[in-house]
Amino acid sequence: GFHAIVEEVALREADGEYELLRACPTDLEFDGDSKGFEGAVGFAAQDDGEIYMLGLCEGNHCKEGKKGKERGNGRVVVMKRNQGGEEGDCSWETIETLELPKTADFQDYSAISVSSSGKVAVTSQEDSMMWVGHLSGIVDEDTITSANDLEFQGDGELFNFPRDENGCKHVFCNIEGVHWIGEDQIVAVSDKMKSNGKQPNECFSNDQSIHVFVLP
């Protein structure tokens, strides 16, 4: 197994580069060696002033292998940043694990974004779909009232990313990032298409690119 390492960075406007502020492990240990967190969002809490992070597990049940492919068992781990003692050690302490509604019936989970109004977008690379729901406790895109107030509300909705001209085949096969840029608008990022015939040719047209979508 392994512990995920969370890197906090600061972007430099002068040269567009970034500098590493801190790298802290999570106390949550993942099984295997590849399926960990695939997305994360950070917030400051009004009640205690602490920094919290929501980590989206790539596999169902936060597992890999057969268990990780049991659809509809998405998990979001709520963690608090601990600064550590005099040695400067830091870590992310698990506070609770939120279950995504069963509506998010995905084989995998690839990215998460939370808007200032609490709208949540969760994408699936394998299914080329997005689940949109609502999370309570959100003040704005940087602030929550309390970690205790975080809870998914309702079932949410499912959206397909656009298919080919026949409406069947996936053409957005590698969505690995998503972010709200409006109440009904998202920007999504696609990774490189898998090589050696692991993905069909239709996946090539939109790989390694940035897309903007408006929800219907």
Q: How does pLDDT run across 84-122, given as a tens digit for each residue?
A: 755 568 999 999 999 999 999 999 999 999 999 999 999
pTM for the structure as a whole: 0.93
**C-alpha to C-alpha distances, 207 to 13, 170, 171, 173, 189, nearest whole angstrom:** 28, 12, 9, 8, 9
Report DSSP state, residue 44. Answer: E
The pair of three-digit structure tokens given for residue 173, joined into one six-digit string: 């096969």
pLDDT at 42: 97
Q: How many domains does the chain have?
A: 1
Compute the average pLDDT of residues 61-83. 96
Question: Taking CA 211 as the corner, what is the angle to CA 207 and CA 214, rounded to the nearest 5 degrees?
Answer: 145
Domain range for 47: 2-214
